[in-house]
Amino acid sequence: MSNFLKKSVFWGGLTATIIAVFIGGVYFGYNNSPEAQKVIGVTRKDVPVSFSEIDFESFWKVWNLVESKYVANGELDRQKMFWGAIAGLVDSLEDPYSVFFPPKEAEIFESSVRGNFEGVGMEIGMRDGILTVIAPLKGTPAERAGIRAGDQILKIDDTVTAGITIDAAVNIIRGERGTIVKFSMFRDGEEEPLEIEVARDVIEIPVLETEQKEAGIFVISLYNFSARSTEVFREALREMIQSGSTKMIIDLRGNPGGYLEAAVDISSWFLPIGEIVAREEFGSGEEKFYKSRGYDIFKNLPLVILVDRGSASASEIMAGALSEHGIATLVGQKTFGKGSIQELVELEDGSSLKITIARWLTPKGRSISEEGLAPDVEVEYTKEDFDAGKDPQMNKAIEILLER
């Protein structure tokens, strides 16, 4: 090419003229192009959404206005702007269980899933847009501090919880062992908010406890559906048989759930093979069925399951299945209503998206998320009962079994 230019000044001048015209055209076109194209030109990325369906012009215009007019535009963190835009997109779903995590938050969340964290030991969720305690876990600092299922969390330390996401709240609550976290909570029956301090600790949760009651009634208090719960539940059943008990109470109060497979496996001790334990409904309308493995060692066993507003997720799946198949009588209060399934998607830049992909339905097709589970026999458990050491729900369950 250089030899050619030496031989022809004319062609060199013409080339320069063409380049100048091209640059001028690009500049004119850029200033008159859609806002999105300006940003695309800078980022060198393609827009992954069809503009024929949604007009993104306003979004890109705002981006460019921030770039050009914001007083501190020389200090813009464009990566943070980008993550903020994604977070806003996910927030618009108005689903408290769908959350976008930038890389740092994604690492914290993934460590909590692995169990490498310290905290107060309670499950939280959203009820009517209010951050609410699903249940304090058995033997944890939250339970010892007097936190109860249904408590509404107004403040965590100095952070007001109005508009907060569940995962943001969890990140504030968790912390180093021995440190203090302060809660301001509203509780039914109390006129003023409660101020509760909890010392964080390593959380160790027992799977279950057993107790022999009068007249051959055996009680299994199941606190979670963990990886170990299926094995430990099987040992509890062996203990029951060896004791000569002929009636059973399964206490799922305050059980926030856990693994679906554990709920299916434990339910299988009471259902014939092939009976539906739960249905998984996807946005496309497709359904997946989870069926009993048919251990079914009990025939006509008088069975009561205790539930309350701290019973959620896998607890609701098991209680709903055994109730609808006519195996168990539900006693207590309406359950929490946490019947959705989330998938964690890891993204290339280290961020991740936790998104609700399906909903749980009972064998008969009732939505757990929308309705929760109403007990067959409703029994309140009041503050006065708690303070007096009474348990009217357990007493009712025993009364029902004594009549059978």
8 A C-beta contact, residue 393 and residue 379: yes
| 27: pLDDT strictly greater than 60 | no
Coil, helix or strand at residue 217: strand
Q: Which residues contact 269 (CB under 8 A, 6 or more apart)?
A: 233, 234, 237, 295, 296, 297, 298
Looking at residues 315-328, what average pLDDT do you find? 97
Residue pair 339/316 in contact (Cβ under 8 Å)? The answer is yes
**Where exactly are the structural domains of the chain?**
2-91, 117-202, 208-402
The catalytically annotated residue of 313, 323, 340, 351 is 313
pTM: 0.74
Catalytic residue among 138, 247, 338, 396: 338
- In DSSP terms, 331 is beta-bridged to 306, 377
CATH 3.30.200.20 at 208-402, yes or no: no
Written out in words, the top-level CATH class of the domain with range 117-202 is: mainly beta
Known catalytic membership, residue 69: no
Known active-site residue 267? no
How far apart CA 385 and CA 312 sit, in angstroms, is 23
Residue 113, pLDDT above cutoff 60: no
Question: Given this model, what pLDDT does residue 274 score?
Answer: 97
Q: Is the pLDDT of residue 114 over 90?
A: no
Q: Diameter of the chain by CA atoms?
A: 111
pLDDT reported for residue 117 = 63
| Rg (alpha carbons) of the chain, rounded to whole number | 29
Residue-level pLDDT at 391: 96
Annotation marks residue 338 as catalytic: yes
Cα(302)–Cα(227) distance, integer angstroms: 27
Q: Out of 324, 340, 351, 396, which one is annotated catalytic?
A: 324
